[in-house]
Amino acid sequence: MASIVLSTLNARYMHAAFGLRYLLANMGALQEETRLMEFTIEMRAADIVEKIMRESPSIVGLGVYIWNVQRVAEVVKTLRAVAPQVTLVVGGPEVSHEIEAQPWLSDVDYIVTGEGDEAFPKLCERLLSGRKPLQRVIDGGVPELSTLTLPYDLYDEEDIAHRVLYVEASRGCPFRCEFCLSSLDKKVRAFDLPEFLTSLEHLMDRGARSFKFVDRTFNLDIQRSEEILRFFLDRIELGLFIHFEMVPDRLPERLRELIRAFPEGSLQFEIGIQSFDPEVGQRIQRRQNLEKTFDNLRFLCEDTGVHLHTDLIIGLPGEDLASFGAGLDRLIRAGVQEVQVGVLKRLRGTPIARHSEEFALVFDQFAPYAILSTAHIDFPTMQRLKRFSLVWDVFWNRGTLLHTMALMWGEASPFEETLKFSDWLFQRDGKVHAMALKHRARRLAEYMQARGDDDDAVLEALTRDFAARGSTPPPLLEQKARATGSSPTPTRQRRHLSQ
């Protein structure tokens, strides 16, 4: 039994709740009577409540995010109905702003806004001692990082073996991108580096090999970046994989030299481009030096083994179909491995909504509050682009059909050709998602054959893609391949695919 249950609903099992582990690590004397319980958004609210109530808690704290708010609201309603004696506390980004606009919050007792590392334990201490706070909304404030207990010992063996291990060397972001909650941060704060690296070393001693940094700007402080990279490089023989989010136009030679030394596949950089339109960037306060950005991308693609995960956003104020597509094509021609095509969302508290009237921004009223239309992209086109983003992700970003996709593009625009394929696929099947690899391969082959592509070239490209996975193409294509024989490798292959 536990007096306090800390819980949330993760998007997937593999995503460990990093914020809740921080809360648990800083519960002090209350840690022994606090239980961490994680669920996923696929679970039914009643089933979640049943598991929580087995602990007979006095306090239930729930972490609320854009991906789980609707299901958390159901959990709150159910908890309030079956266990009215339990004190309900919520916190997280989704309930830190616009509280009055969320009717479901009337069913909770307390709301902790901002960072709750210190505020939540203090609240629990008061509640359990019978000293209820007068205010319902409690400002979590900005804790001094040196006073916090790091949470990394709370990753258990199951986490280390099967889940993403989130880590952070700093909090905050110096930029003011209006679509991002980090734009509300006052400053960047750094954890004590020796203590942080010691915690990571302890995780490695327990078998951890993969780390995802959640720092918004890992390469902001070059000296700290160097020390962290050297720390991992000294242990690279363990077979590590490290993910960083990087500022795209800030990569001095000091960092380049270190990055070159990492073996292929050990580093992944997430680089948020968002838009290549300078006017759009200035409008949303996303300023970047595009010349330096592309110089850095060229370096990373040509001189290192870094896997590049870049980001673009559909629906920014002033961005139209052509400018978005041109930006995506530039990234592909630069040789990046992934372009994550995101859809603009109106996160609660962010200033992006100030452009709504001028640029006719219309957002969905339900989470995740995605853009529905703008003055430059009407609703039907936005729907096409959302389907395109799904097709792009499963047919290109996953890396399973690279040669066949490159053959489909030829020398034309990757964006335009994939958009045409997305339209055809939706018309053909009425959906563009939830397709197994062999089904995707069949549909891609059907499309290319229907438009007149050479059958032998298509089969050769598919064979290469499946061979890279140690398998063979779908049976129908495999039979045709045996009947026609193999053909020369298609001449119109992208440089990085033919290597």
pLDDT digits (tens, 9 = 90+) for 51-107: 999 999 999 999 999 999 999 999 999 999 999 999 999 999 999 999 999 999 999
pLDDT of 495 strictly over 70 = no
pLDDT of 112 strictly over 60 = yes
pLDDT of 487 strictly over 70 = no
Residue 432 in any domain: the answer is: yes
Q: Residue 349 and residue 370: Cα distance in Å, rounded?
A: 15
Q: In the numeric block, which tokens belong to residue 315?
A: 């629906």
Mark whether 248 and 363 lie in a shared domain.
Answer: yes
Mark whether 408 and 354 lie in a shared domain.
Answer: no
Q: What is the pLDDT of residue 490?
A: 34
In three-state secondary structure terms, 113 is strand
Mark whether 105 and 196 lie in a shared domain.
Answer: no
Mark whether 369 and 402 lie in a shared domain.
Answer: no
Q: In the numeric block, which tokens belong to residue 106?
A: 């009337």
Q: Residue 230 and residue 224: Cα distance in Å, rounded?
A: 10
Residue 485 pLDDT grade (very low, low, confident, very high; cuts 50, 70, 90):
very low
pLDDT of 38 strictly over 70 = yes
Helix-strand-coil percent breakdown of the chain, rounded to 5? 45, 15, 40
Residue 416 in any domain: the answer is: yes
Domain boundary among 343, 377, 411: 377
The tens digit of pLDDT for each residue in 434-484 reads 899 999 999 999 999 999 999 999 999 999 999 999 988 876 565 554 444
Residue 275 in any domain: the answer is: yes
Higher pLDDT, residue 497 or 393 = 393
Residue 368 in any domain: the answer is: yes
pLDDT of 409 strictly over 90 = yes
Q: What is the pLDDT of residue 182?
A: 79
Mark whether 224 and 360 lie in a shared domain.
Answer: yes
pTM to 2 decimals? 0.90
Question: Which residue in 40, 35, 65 sits closest to 53, CA to CA?
Answer: 35
Residue 382 in any domain: the answer is: no
The H-or-E segment that residue 363 falls in is strand 362-363
Q: What is the pLDDT of residue 480?
A: 55
Q: What is the pLDDT of residue 90?
A: 98
Domain boundary among 344, 377, 410: 377
Q: What's the chain's average pLDDT?
A: 93
The tens digit of pLDDT for each residue in 360-376 reads 999 999 999 999 999 99
Question: Using CA atoms in the order 292, 294, 296, 297, what is the torsion angle rounded to 10 degrees?
Answer: 160
pLDDT of 191 strictly over 90 = yes
Q: What is the pLDDT of residue 478?
A: 54
Mark whether 84 and 54 lie in a shared domain.
Answer: yes
| 256 in Cβ contact with 154 (< 8 Å) | no
> Which domain covers residue 121, as residue numbers?
4-145
Residue 155 in any domain: the answer is: no
Count the domains in the chain.
3
Average pLDDT for residues 119-145, to the nearest whole number?
95
State what percent of residues in the chain have pLDDT above 70: 95
Q: What is the CATH number of the domain that holds 204?
A: 3.80.30.20
Average pLDDT for residues 274-284, to the nearest whole number?
94
Mark whether 128 and 219 lie in a shared domain.
Answer: no
Mark whether 227 and 348 lie in a shared domain.
Answer: yes
Mark whether 299 and 372 lie in a shared domain.
Answer: yes
Mark whether 238 and 178 lie in a shared domain.
Answer: yes
Average pLDDT for residues 119-142, to the nearest whole number?
95
Q: With helix as H, strand as E and coil as C, how does 233-272 read?
A: HCCHHHCCEEEEEECCCCCCHHHHHHHHCCCCCCEEEEEE
| 388 in Cβ contact with 419 (< 8 Å) | yes
Q: What is the pLDDT of residue 185?
A: 74
Average pLDDT for residues 402-422, to the nearest whole number?
97
State what percent of residues in the chain have pLDDT above 90: 88
Residue 298 in any domain: the answer is: yes
Mark whether 367 and 412 lie in a shared domain.
Answer: no
The tens digit of pLDDT for each residue in 285-317 reads 988 898 999 999 999 999 999 999 999 999 999
pLDDT of 183 strictly over 80 = no
pLDDT of 263 strictly over 70 = yes
Higher pLDDT, residue 476 or 280 = 280
Q: What is the pLDDT of residue 176?
A: 86
Domain boundary among 83, 111, 145: 145
Residue 491 in any domain: the answer is: yes
